[in-house]
């Protein structure tokens, strides 16, 4: 068992947990099931103290006890698996994090006994896949989940809502159509889910540049809220290309050196162009639930890379290594957090106008990148009983953490 070294500072809570664990070991042995919860509490404390290596060892010991007493496939270990996932992300082992979540999905699916829980397992996995850039795999999980929906209107609608979101994050069109077809059948669903569906259709129509149709669905969703308060404008989760139409249609080539084909020149794939470290940012995404990285999207012929990639920025997200290409040589060696406050108006069709930087500790190149990026995104406009309304002087604060993470 691993415990941290508190030579410089005493942590009374940690000492109490250490003593409790030692007492249980003395009385009942090192494999006692009574050790499980103290070990989990110890791990939580170690995570708070950023003793990540110790926390991982403690969690794995607790998980081993869980396997010993409840079986390797017991559902109670989900909380431990989620914490191990977080630690894998902190140490930038993104593929390990993905393996943990796939195991958690397997356990949830195995434990499920009814359509609601089975579909819930597939929805949870699809969300993880979407939030880690595995968008083709996410749509596949949703299709598989739909086979267990049992024609339950609410389950079908939840699957379609996530599918529409996944399509937006993949910069694909028309996820709203299946939602509309489902709602046209007038299914018996609760008003909260129906409101979410109306707003999802409207957001998708905004992205498809159909603001008049979107306005109708915004009004329908607002009516179900039974409020007189005006809803604030908000970002729509999406992905947008930053390349110009000229460069988007250009061809790029790589010089490869392999034993079979020395110095072979080949055309770059779409994914290689989008994420090549030599380019300045070629795309941006908005996804409040993103995990800070992307993984290879299996099953998508457009994306054949085997690499995971770190992301950077909030709320506007960029490919990390590409973003660093726009930093000046002077600032590249500085480990700091960039904060850029921006202001703009949101039109009733979701367009942004009068975009300007209010304050910034970043370079002018970063400021220009953010202004150009905001020109590519759309907002859900503010909404009242009459529909979308103009919003002036909306403020967002863009944060970009350039510090290297410390895993110890």
Q: What pLDDT is stored for residue 299 in this prediction?
A: 67
Q: d(Cα 318, Cα 297) in Å, to the nearest integer?
A: 17
Q: Domain residue spans in the chain?
A: 1-111, 130-226, 238-242+278-401
* Domain 1-111 and domain 238-242+278-401 have a common topology: no
| Half-sphere exposure at residue 67, Cβ-oriented, CA atoms within 13 angstroms | 9
Note whether 273 and 290 are within 8 A (CB).
no
Contacting residues for 334 by C-beta, under 8 A, at least 6 apart: 402
The CATH number given to 238-242+278-401 is 3.30.2420.10
For 1-111, CATH number out of 1.25.40.10, 2.102.10.10, 3.30.390.10, 1.10.150.390 equals 1.25.40.10
Q: Are strands 253-256 and 238-241 parallel, antiparallel or unpaired?
A: unpaired
Q: Kindly state the DSSP code that residue 131 receives in the 8-state scheme.
A: H
Instruction: Tell me how far CA of residue 237 lies from CA of 180, 193, 339, in angstroms.
Output: 19, 18, 21
Identify the segments of the chain with pLDDT beneath 70: 1-10, 244-249, 257-262, 270, 299-306, 328-335, 405-408
Q: What pLDDT is stored for residue 115 in this prediction?
A: 95
| Half-sphere exposure at residue 292, Cβ-oriented, CA atoms within 13 angstroms | 14
Note whether 378 and 207 are within 8 A (CB).
yes
Burial classification of residue 306, based on how many CB atoms lie within 10 Å of its CB (0-12 exposed, 13-18 middle, 19 or more buried): exposed
Nearest to 272 by CA among 245, 230, 307, 236: 307
Instruction: Tell me how far CA of residue 301 lies from CA of 157, 270, 298, 406, in angstroms.
Output: 28, 10, 8, 36
What pTM was estimated for this model as a whole? 0.88
Q: What pLDDT is stored for residue 257 in this prediction?
A: 67
């Amino acid at each position: 068992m691993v415990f941290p070294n508190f030579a410089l500072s005493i942590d009374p809570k940690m000492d109490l947990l250490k003593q409790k664990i030692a007492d249980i070991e003395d009385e009942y042995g090192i494999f006692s099931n009574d050790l499980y919860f103290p070990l989990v509490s110890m791990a939580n404390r170690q995570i708070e103290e950023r003793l990540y290596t110790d926390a991982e060892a403690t969690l794995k010991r607790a998980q081993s006890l869980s396997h010993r007493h409840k079986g390797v496939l017991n559902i109670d270990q989900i909380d431990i698996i989620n914490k191990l996932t977080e630690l894998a992300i902190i140490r930038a082992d993104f593929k390990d994090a993905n393996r943990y979540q796939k195991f958690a999905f397997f356990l949830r699916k195995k434990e499920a006994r009814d359509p609601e829980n089975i579909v819930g397992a597939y929805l949870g996995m699809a969300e993880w896949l979407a939030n880690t850039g595995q968008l083709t795999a996410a749509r596949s999980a949703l299709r598989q989940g739909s086979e267990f929906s049992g024609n339950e209107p609410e389950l079908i609608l939840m699957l379609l809502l996530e599918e529409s979101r996944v399509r937006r994050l993949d910069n694909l069109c028309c996820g709203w159509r299946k939602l509309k077809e489902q709602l046209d059948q007038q299914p018996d669903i609760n008003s909260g889910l129906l409101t979410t569906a109306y707003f999802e259709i409207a957001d998708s129509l905004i992205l498809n540049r159909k603001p008049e149709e979107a306005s109708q669905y915004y009004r329908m969703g607002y009516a179900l809220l039974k409020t007189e308060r005006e809803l604030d404008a908000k970002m729509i989760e999406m992905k947008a290309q930053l390349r110009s139409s000229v460069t988007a249609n250009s061809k790029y080539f790589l010089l490869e050196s392999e034993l079979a084909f020395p110095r072979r020149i080949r055309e770059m794939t779409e994914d290689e162009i989008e994420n090549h470290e030599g380019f300045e940012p070629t795309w941006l995404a908005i996804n409040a639930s993103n995990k800070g990285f992307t993984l290879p999207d299996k099953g998508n012929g457009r994306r054949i890379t085997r690499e995971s990639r770190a992301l950077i920025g909030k709320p506007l997200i960029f490919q990390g290594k590409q973003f660093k290409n726009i930093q000046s040589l002077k600032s590249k060696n500085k480990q700091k957090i960039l904060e850029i406050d921006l202001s703009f108006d949101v039109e009733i069709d979701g367009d942004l106008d009068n975009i300007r930087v209010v304050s910034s500790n970043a370079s002018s190149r970063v400021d220009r990148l953010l202004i150009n990026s905001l020109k590519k995104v759309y907002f859900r406009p503010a909404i009242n009983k009459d529909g979308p309304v103009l919003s002036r002087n909306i403020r967002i604060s863009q944060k970009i953490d350039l510090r290297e993470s410390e895993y110890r």
